[in-house]
Amino acid sequence: MTNEENIQLLKENIIQGRRDENDEGLEEGMLGQPGAKELTEAAIQAGITPGTIILEGLTAGMNVVGEKYEAKEYFIPDMLASAEATGLAMEILEPHLAKAGVSSKGKVVVATVKGDLHDIGKNIVSLLLKGAGYEVIDLGNDIPPERIVEVVRQENPDFLGLSALLTTTMKMMGETINSLREAGLRDRVKVLVGGAAVSQDFADEIGADGYGTDGFHAVRLVEELRE
Amino acid sequence: MIEHCKPMVRTLAPNSINIEKSEVARYLGYGKDGNPSAQISSLIDSQISEAYRLIEPSYFCVMKEVENVEAFRISLRGSNSVFSSNIIARRIFSKCSKAAIFLTTIGPRLEERVSQLMDGGEILKGAILDAVGNEAVEKVACWLEASIKETAAASGADVSLRYSPGYCDWDIKEQKVLFSALDGDLHGVELTEDCLMMPRKSISGIIGIGFDSSITLSPCLFCNKTDCPSRRL
Ligand code: B12
């Protein structure tokens, strides 16, 4: 297998959502063939740089997944399978990243706000951000403003992603932003909001930096705001 | 079967509810324009089997007489049960003689397993099991609804659709009123400060019973919020 073939196959396996050789994938006859895990290991062995593996294998693959999701060819589970495969590959690459001098694209703290227990949407957002090469700190759900302020102060993240599904809890997003402002931290972090209750209008009203409708949108927002 | 005023508590056998695969797929975002791939499809099957080992479906239900209905106010006889929703009051409960207040749950075990999967990085499996849980608790509510309908039909009465606090113009904060009306051992279902139920996979609500067939109509028919995601037509 040439290096190009190795990367091409890795990309293909990300698109198919195959973590390792035991996964079926979307097409027949894939079972037993190397998956994202084996192909990432092979690429490292072959001396391909982690930067190339991420950019041309993983990210390129996830971009195709994003396009397919947008075109309604892929659905949430397909996207999760691909994101999991990417996550696994990133885990294998991690020890090699520091050595090669590759740093993460940025740090993101995500949380579901106080009073809200919905976390599936937030979990999807954090998985996709990880897959896109960001360092993600997931605080969980029912997280009060004080705790978020504390973590922002300590971790100094580039982004903060807040999720709320209830009209009663989305108010907490505004309160969290106010608490950041009072603590003098508002300018240090870009705040993104999302979840069923939230809209672009609401995001503007509370002074958030962005509003995302789904996980891929969250990644696009982060990429745009990073520039 | 469902008596007046006395609260009913019942635990169902897991297999008395029918978890439908097509509904699980719908929760996962598949619509008219797509079906799960073979890989996802077999994962859904395995998580449905897993769910039958984890769910503990039960329901709680109490019947009350409708005492008085005004705009934005439905008062029930006994306890201080007053609910405020203009739409449901006007369209439904003004024509009902009784109301069934209910709570259904599948217990905590399924969502504990979901958290375990998520924490271990198995987001795909976790998300699928979570969707199976949504369908399961929905089916417990359907089961109860059918049983109330059957009892009502025996005396020639009609029943309304189900209404839940947090939907439409009914404030989720009135979960507190609903819980106090149920009053009793709710198998560990509790309200958080912000009126969410724990275990999460629970549904609460009210069903109207009366001798006017218009109560079976959806109030959404008369509502002009055509972009409402919860519209029932
Ligand atoms: C499934 C569901 C349930 C399930 C499961 C709930 C659970 N906690 O597990 C069941 C049936 C149990 C349920 C029960 C109830 N529910 Co419910 N439920 C839903 C439903 C249909 C889908 C939620 C979901 O899982 N979506 C799937 C995920 C993948 O989507 P998502 O969370 O939106 O996330 C995506 C995006 O929003 C975005 N995103 C999310 N976060 C973020 C963050 C950032 C930074 C960015 C950029 C993007 C982003 O990306 C995500 C991935 O694509 C919603 C309606 C809706 N359309 O959302 C109502 C809804 C949340 N429920 C509602 C209500 C009222 C209830 C009940 C209170 C009803 C009752 N009285 O019984 C109960 C409460 C349960 C409890 N524990 O207290 C209301 C809340 C309304 C309100 N007033 O705020 C909703 C909005 C329905 C409605 N239209 O009225 N519910």
Least confident segment among A22-31, A137-146, A180-189: A22-31
- Determine the straight-line distance between the first and last CA of chain B, rounded to whole angstroms: 30
Residue to probe by mutation, ligand 1, list A70, A165, A209, A217, most atoms within 8 Å of CB: A165
Tell which of A88, A117, A129, A143 to mutate to test the B interface (max B CBs under 10 Å).
A117
Tokens of A137: 């700190």
Q: What is the ipTM of this complex?
A: 0.88
Angle of CA points B31, B35, B40, to nearest 5°: 120
The residues, any chain, with a CB within 8 Å of residue A113's CB and separated by 6 or more, are A142, A143, A162, A163, A164, A169, A170, A172, A173, A176
Q: A78, B37: Cβ pair inside 8 Å?
A: yes
Classify residue B233: in a domain, yes or no. no
Which residue, judged by its Cα, is nearest atom 63 of ligand 1?
B166
- A118 CA distance to ligand 1 centroid (A)? 6
Average pLDDT of A55-68?
Answer: 94
What pLDDT is recorded for position B6? 60
* Domain count along chain B: 1
What pLDDT is recorded for position B110? 98
Classify residue B3: in a domain, yes or no. no
Say if strands B98-105 and B190-191 run parallel, antiparallel, or are unpaired.
Answer: unpaired
A28: closest chain B residue by CA? B38
Classify residue B145: in a domain, yes or no. yes
Average pLDDT of A220-225?
Answer: 94
Average pLDDT of A193-216?
Answer: 94
Q: A124, B127: Cβ pair inside 8 Å?
A: yes
What is the extent of the structural domain holding B169?
8-222
- Determine the straight-line distance between the first and last CA of chain A, rounded to whole angstroms: 37
Classify residue B227: in a domain, yes or no. no
Asked if A185 contacts A177 with a C-beta cutoff of 8 angstroms, the reply is: no
Asked if B102 contacts B205 with a C-beta cutoff of 8 angstroms, the reply is: yes
Classify residue B138: in a domain, yes or no. yes
Count other C-beta atoms under 10 Å from residue B53's C-beta: 10
Ligand 1 in reach of A171 Cβ (< 6 A): no
Asked if A171 contacts A162 with a C-beta cutoff of 8 angstroms, the reply is: no
Tokens of A2: 């040439």
Q: At what angle do helices A120-131 and A215-226 cross, to 10 degrees?
A: 50
Distances (CA, A) of B186 to A49, B1, B53, B205, B214: 58, 19, 21, 14, 32
- Rounded to an integer, what distance in angstroms lies between the CA atom of residue B194 and that of residue B231? 25
Give 10-residue mean pLDDT values along chain B (233 residues). 60 93 93 83 96 96 88 78 83 89 96 93 93 97 94 94 90 91 83 91 95 90 80 82
DSSP one-letter code for A55: I
Cβ contacts from A onto B, under 8 A: 76
Classify residue B144: in a domain, yes or no. yes
What pLDDT is recorded for position B79? 66
Chain B 104-143, residues with CB within 8 Å of chain A CB atoms: 118, 121-124, 126-128, 130
The residues, any chain, with a CB within 8 Å of residue B116's CB and separated by 6 or more, are none
Classify residue B38: in a domain, yes or no. yes
Identify whether B199 is preceded by a cis peptide bond (ω within 30 of 0): yes
Tell me the pTM: 0.92
Position A132 confidence tier, pLDDT thresholds 50, 70, 90: confident
The secondary structure element, H or E, covering residue A161 is strand A159-163
Query: Closest Cα partner for A19 from A91, A104, A68, A73?
Result: A91
What pLDDT is recorded for position B1? 42
What pLDDT is recorded for position B113? 97
Asked if B144 contacts B102 with a C-beta cutoff of 8 angstroms, the reply is: yes
Asked if B24 contacts B132 with a C-beta cutoff of 8 angstroms, the reply is: yes
Ligand 1 in reach of A195 Cβ (< 6 A): yes
Q: Closest to B29 (Cβ–Cβ): which among A24, A75, A84?
A: A75
- What CATH number does residue B120 fall under? 3.40.109.40
| Whole-number average pLDDT of chain A | 92
What pLDDT is recorded for position B7? 66
Domains and CATH numbers, chain A: 3-99 (1.10.1240.10), 107-226 (3.40.50.280)
- Rounded to an integer, what distance in angstroms lies between the CA atom of residue B126 and that of residue B208? 36
Tens digits of residue pLDDT in A104-129: 789 999 999 998 888 889 999 998 99
Tokens of B187: 């198998």
What pLDDT is recorded for position B80? 73
Q: Is the pLDDT of residue A143 over 90?
A: yes
What pLDDT is recorded for position B81? 79
Classify residue B98: in a domain, yes or no. yes
B131: closest chain A residue by CA? A120
Encoded amino acid at B59, one letter = Y
Distances (CA, A) of B32 to A171, B23, B25, B35, B36: 34, 12, 11, 8, 12
Tokens of A67: 């396009």
What pLDDT is recorded for position A25? 77
